[in-house]
Amino acid sequence: MWLKTFLVELDFKQEEATIVFINNQKNISLVKNSIYHELKHIDIGHHYVRELVQVIEIMLKYCNTNEMSIDLWTKGILY
């Protein structure tokens, strides 16, 4: 969101929602399903993401871990 705001300041306005690929289907259902909203242990970050999805700033899409090209770089650092 910071980068998107910065690009708007540079007159590069994005009309569509930013697609965020994640490999955790439970997180997608947590954001989309309001039943989980009643749980008290939800991290503040999930609430922020839920708000961004509701105002159509971002779209969450599932992507298998094996298909994520950037995942190679982060996993290589950790192992």
Q: What is the pTM of this model?
A: 0.65
The answer to the question of residue 8 being in a domain is no
Mean pLDDT of the chain: 77
The answer to the question of residue 42 being in a domain is yes
The answer to the question of residue 9 being in a domain is no
Name the residue type at position 50: R
Which DSSP helix (H) or strand (E) runs through 14?
none
pLDDT digits (tens, 9 = 90+) for 5-63: 898 899 998 888 988 888 888 878 878 776 655 555 667 777 788 888 888 888 999 88
Domain count for the chain, please give it: 1
pLDDT digits (tens, 9 = 90+) for 16-31: 898 888 888 887 887 8
What range defines the domain where residue 50 resides?
A: 14-78
CA atoms within 13 A on the CB side of 66: 0
12 three-class SS: coil
- 59 neighbors 17 (Cβ within 8 angstroms): yes
Share of the chain above pLDDT 70, in %: 73
